[in-house]
Amino acid sequence: MFTSTAYAMGTQGAAGGQQGFAAFVPLILMFVIFYFLLIRPQQKKAKAHQAMISAIKKGDNVITSGGIHGTIVKVDDATVTLEIAEKVNIKVIRANITVKV
């Protein structure tokens, strides 16, 4: 009884190498799909945002991530001074600017 089971397991092990690779094919396909549908568009969006941040200058109308609309008065290395009303200025970190209007 046990010998027939042992023989059956021995013959199946020879073809196991080909089946092992076939088991990874769906996993590889899922990774490729995730790359093109999720990772790559996010990288493109981040690159476009970085280009927009580096191109801002005095006088541009922008919207911050908090929803504040303003006009750029001064640009520093890490911060931007926005005029949100007449003679009302606030400092905002450059990365918090989401839209250039």
At 4 the pLDDT is 59
pTM for this structure? 0.70
At 9 the pLDDT is 56
Contact 100, 60 (CB under 8 A): yes
Q: What is the pLDDT of residues 81-95, one digit of tens each?
A: 999 999 999 999 999
Residue ranges for the chain with pLDDT beneath 70: 1-18
| Sequence-distant contacts of 66-71: CB under 8 A, at least 24 apart | 66/96, 68/92, 69/101
Contact 64, 72 (CB under 8 A): no
- State residue 8 phi and psi, 5-degree precision: -65, -40
The pLDDT > 90 percentage for the chain reads: 76
